[in-house]
Structure formats: C-alpha cells, structure tokens
Amino acid sequence: MRPSEFDFNKFHYHMEEQQKRLRRFASNTERFLPVVQRPGGEHFDTMSHCKEDSLAAQLSMLADSIKLYSDFGYNYLEPWHGVGVYAAAFGSEVVWYRHSAPQTRYAYHSIDEIRNLAYPDLKKCEMLQMVLETIRYFREQTGDAIPLCLTDTQSPNDTASLILDSCAFFEGTIEEPETVAHLLRLVTRLITEFSDIQREAIGAGNICEPGHTIISDTTFQGISLSEDNMAFISPSVFATSAMPYNQELSNHFGGIAVHSCGEVKHNLPLLTAMEGLQWVELAVGYGNASWPVDPNPNNAEDLLELFAGTDITVKARVGPFELERIFPLLTPRVKLIVDLCTYGSIDERNRQYSEAKEILLANYHE
C-alpha cells in the first residue's frame, strides 16, 4: 500500500481510543483483561531489504489493524532490517534471501579473534546507515503522521552470539568470561549509542517505546530487547553474560521490555529482579501449522508464581484453540495482555477473537 492510498485520518481515529485505554492500563488506573490481535508481519521477511517495500507492507498491515478486533493496537512503523543489524557493525555478514528473512554469518570463529576487538565506526556500517535511511524515508513519506520505534534490538548476549561463532561464544562465557565481557561491553555501548542516534532521527514526540513486539506509545519510555538465548543458557551464565548489560540499557533508557522465545522459567527469577523491567513477552501456547506460536512454550503456572502481585506486564502469546493453557494467568493479580495468535481472513480472525475472548472472560477469576 502506498502512502497516498493509506487513510491516515481513519487510522488515527481508530487508534485514539485504544491508546487511551492502553495508557490507563499501563498506569494501573484501569485493570482488566485485554486481548489483542497483531496484524501480519510481511515486512519481517523478504521485504525487509527495501525501505520502499517495507513501508508498503507496514501500511497494509496497519490498514488491516483497523479491521481487526483488538483491545490495544500496534500503531507504529519499524525500521526492521533483520536481527543482525548490530552484529553487522562488527563485521558479521547479513545475507538476504528471496523467500525468508535475512540471516547473519559470524564475523569471528574463535575466542582468540575477539581479544583485542575494537569499537566499530558507526558511519562505516552499511546496516546501521540503512536503518537511519529507512527512518528518514518513513518520516518523509508519512509526514510524521505515524510514529516510529527503534529497529529490532537484539540483546547484547544475543548480538554477541551473532558476531562470534555461538559455540565459541557460549564456551567463552564459562572458560574465558573476561574476554567475552570485552565483546559484550562493546556491543552494549553500540546499542546505547546507536539507539540514541535513532531516537534523535525519529524525533521527540514521534518515537513509540518500548518498541519491537511490544504494544507501545509515544508517552512511554524504555527499550525492547530480544533475549532469546535465555531459553537455553544456565542461570549462572545468564547472570554474568546478560543481566549486567541489560541492566545498563534499562538504566540508560528508563526501563526495559524483554521478549524471548522458548521456555525460560529457569532464568525468570533473575530477570524479574532487574530494576526497570516493565514488560515480558513470552509464549504460553504452541499454536498450530497456520500460525505456530512456539514449539517449547512456558507453563502458565510458573509465570503466575513469578508475576502475580507485580506491575510487570506479561504479554502472553497463545493460539485460539489452546486457551486452557493460559487459564492460570486469568486473574487481576497478573497484569496480563493475551496476545491471541489468530489466522486466516479478517473475518475468520475476528470470529476466533470473539469466541476466544468470551471463553477467557468466563474463566477470569480472583
């Protein structure tokens, strides 16, 4: 969809009430069970190599969001160019494919190669400059009528495992933690510096935070991190090679939201103790072939034990035909958003949403 075809007025009218409700929910002035549907994400695949195609895909996605039943909505554009943006600054190659999202090839293969690794020159990194070009293009084409978020920010730990061969990296976290710490400090510095550059490029009042995968707002603050490695690293390694750097980012940006795929209960006690943690985005369901949620989701009972009575928002992904998996979390003691992974046509998805919301509300309990 071209910008000239997008109905900005209709979109703003549709989003206005949703955003007011989201702000009340975030501030705890209104506590209820929100259920959301996310529109498609075609810009997360082959269209991500081209800012023009990405914008067209995202505008189509936002146009669909007007038709989808949802308590809150995604109201921002994202300069998404894959998960290897920060790794590319250290020399990792981003490989573009015709039928899938870009992939990243390691820049280094042994721990010896990173001992004296230098901080990269941001201006010489093609991927970082691509993100900034996309931000400028999106703003120009929309006239700042739609806010933007930061690019997909992989955590320092995730990013480091895209720079150094993952086997060597995970071995290094145990055998040579100081050498790995050098890499992690450089990555954290880069994320901090380049995120601030993006924020300036987007403009005050036009940036949606925390950002990627999180339902965001221009009145919120914080940064969204993808921390997928936490699903399979031990608590001791997570404590030393992830938490200090995530905390540094949380301190700098005034809060943090963390997404992870997979089952992460062994590391959640560490994560929930982090100062500034605002959101977690986790799978509770498996989904199905049409929309797989996660092959190794979390147990709702475990999440209830950790998040009941806190102000941390749990955004829990689940399919419409496995709702019993999320029943333990259906209590006002948990600040919960049900991310319902529906599929099919707009009408089919709205039917699934309506049926699921009725079931969820019927099982909402003290």
Residue 329 has pLDDT above 70, yes or no: yes
Q: Which amino acid makes up residue 33?
A: L
> For residues 239 and 72, what is the distance between their CA atoms, to the nearest angstrom?
34
Helix (H) or strand (E) holding 95: strand 93-95
Q: Rounded to 5 degrees, what are φ and ψ at 136?
A: -65, -40
Domain enclosing residue 58, as ranges: 3-362
Q: How far is 291 from 293, CA to CA, in rounded Å? A: 6
Residue 61: name the closest of 84, 80, 86, 42 by CA. Answer: 42
Give the Cα-Cα-Cα angle 75, 222, 51 (nearest 5 degrees): 45
Span 304-333, average pLDDT: 96
The region that residue 262 occupies, defined by phi over 0 for left and psi between -120 and 50 for alpha, beta otherwise, is left
**End-to-end alpha carbon distance in the chain:** 45
Collapsed DSSP state (helix, strand, coil) of residue 80: coil
| Whole-angstrom distance, CA of residue 198 vs CA of residue 354 | 38
The number of distinct structural domains making up the chain is 1
pLDDT band at 356 (very low <50, low <70, confident <90, very high): very high
Question: What proportion of the chain, given as a percentage, has pLDDT over 70?
Answer: 99
Q: Average of pLDDT values for 16-45? A: 87
Note the pLDDT of residue 44: 79
pLDDT tens-digit map of 330-355: 999 999 999 999 999 999 999 999 99
Cα–Cα dist 247/242, whole Å:
9
224, containing H or E segment: strand 223-226
Cα radius of gyration rounded to whole Å, the chain? 20
Tell me: the pLDDT tens digits for 207-262? 999 999 899 999 999 999 999 999 999 999 999 999 999 999 999 999 999 999 99
- Kindly report the average pLDDT of the chain as a whole number: 95
Q: How is residue 88 written in tokens?
A: 């590319």
The predicted structure's pLDDT at residue 43: 67
pLDDT digits (tens, 9 = 90+) for 78-104: 999 999 999 999 999 999 987 778 999
In angstroms, the CA 179 to CA 190 distance is 17
CATH number of the structural domain spanning residue 161: 3.20.20.210
Query: Quick one: which of 110, 134, 112, 130 has its CA closest to 122?
Result: 130
User: pTM value?
Assistant: 0.96
Residue 292: what pLDDT?
A: 83
Please name the amino acid found at residue 117.
L
User: What is the token pair recorded at 354?
Assistant: 């309506």
Task: Tell me the pLDDT band of 38, cut-offs 50, 70 and 90.
Answer: confident
State residue 241 phi and psi, 5-degree precision. -105, 0
**pLDDT exceeds 80 at position 366:** no
Query: 39-71 pLDDT, tens per residue?
Result: 877 667 778 889 999 999 999 999 999 999 999
d(CA 77, CA 108): 33
